Chains A and B, each alone.
Chain A
Amino acid sequence: MIKIQLHKRLHSAIGKMHLDIDLDIEPNTFLTLYGKSGAGKTSILRMLAGLMEPDSGYVQVKGNLWYDSKNKINNGPQKRSLGFVFQDYALFPNMTVKENLEFALLKNQEKDIIKELIEIIELGDLQNRKPTTLSGGQQQRIALARSLVQQPEILLLDEPLSALDQEMRQKLQHYILQLHKEYKLTTILVSHDVPEIIKLSDRIAQLEQGKIIKDGSPNDFFNKNNKVQEGEVIAVERDGDTIILTIRIEGRQIKTKIPASQLPF
């Protein structure tokens, strides 16, 4: 069980923002943090990993406090057992694929895990290549494998697939899901790709301006069963042959175009 309570004043692109998060995460959950850029998703991951210090709050993992502002506990990133996959992969260019994975080994840790991971991500043929000579998808797989060498129980993924094309994305989603199940991970993903989120997550937390505005299963979110939603038309504008309708659904405004011939006026 992971318990997080984080408060931090952030300076985002939109301006000052107060991040205020309270989350309990069950083991083996695949949680997605979903929201616009600048909502504070990446900051949450960074605070979990110890790469950014919150103003106050706590991070408790399986009863151990990693961060607690009251007791002045703040473990560095080195002391937190988790895997982190960065948006830009962060592979070490001076090392080969295999060396990148070996670098991640703990002292006295057996090397078996590296073989196993290379097999799962199917990169055996490329293990002696430098990462810069590989494609984005291959690099992402290495980053994923490297984050799991120490066999952490928590995996943090910061928009891992945003730079990849659709086909590669689907392939990698498959790898992520496989690793998540195989190693019984608690995974926290940052993403704003809806099909990806539906495919991967057990639970979604939607962020806006540093607050969680909605928290539930993918079904609660994206109306998989085509539930009819109610909305309110708040404006009708005519633009030549088309009509622009502004509709409000669940507090959000959507504009849609329809041919003018469909309306009686």
Chain B
Amino acid sequence: MPLVLPPTVLGFYLLVAFSPSSSFGQWLDETLGLRLVFSFGGLVLASVIYSLPFMVQPIQSGFANLSGSLKEAAYVLGKSRTTTLFKVLLPNIKPSLLTGIVLAFAHTIGEFGVVLMIGGNIPGKTKVASITIYDEVEALNYSAANTYSLILFIITFIILLSVYLINGRYTLLKK
């Protein structure tokens, strides 16, 4: 669902759910002492909810590409489901895990709607780079916007490049 939901919509409902005036927000505040609205913690949680689905797809395809007999072989050798998962399955889909993590991360860096809604764009607290770019453009401060954009651009490029390099090396090693 978060895959197709417009980020602002998701952000809005999270904002409503986390706000102390709702019963869930109240419960969070009273029992766990958590204030998730307009705080960095809330921003992180909302981003996780929003970006996690982007991890699922690569990991799922990683599992799908794994031969089913690996799992069965481990079972026949008397290994439990958990042992099989951690010792056999997960180590053999490392590239997919990495791709999933990085995709989710890169996706979160540039996230706008959810972060703006739940974080509230408070300077020094929940103001993130992607929102700053928008603010600077709105203030017609193009050179600052350019600087921020360039930094984000370079970061994402480096991340993507390293994923390809690491995964490329991995598949080479396998051969």
Contact = CB atoms under 8 A, between A and B. Distances in A.
Interface of A: 49-51, 76-80, 82-84, 86-88, 90-94, 103-104, 106, 130, 132, 146-147, 149-150
A90 B78 contact: no
B175 A132 contact: yes
Contact of B72 (A51, A103, A146): A51
Interface of B: 67, 69-70, 72-80, 87-88, 91-92, 174-175
Contacts, number: 59
B75 A78 contact: yes
A78 B69 contact: no
A104 B69 contact: no
A204 B39 CA distance: 73
Contacts of B69: 86-88, 90
Contact of B79 (A50, A78, A130, A149): A78
Contacts of A84: 72-73, 76
Contacts of B72: 49, 51, 77, 84, 86, 90
Contact of B174 (A79, A91, A93, A104): A93
Given A93-B92, A94-B88, A88 B67 contact: yes
B73 A90 contact: yes
Can you list the 6 inter-chain pairs with the closest CB atoms, starting with the nearest?
A90-B73, A90-B69, A94-B91, A77-B75, A86-B69, A84-B76
Looking at A86, A87, A90, A103, the one whose CB has the most chain B CB atoms below 10 A away is: A90
Contacts of A91: 73
Contact of B73 (A50, A86, A106, A150): A86
Nearest to B78: A78
Contacts of B74: 92, 103
A51 B76 contact: yes
Contacts of A87: 69
Looking at A51, A91, A130, the one whose CB has the most chain B CB atoms below 10 A away is: A51
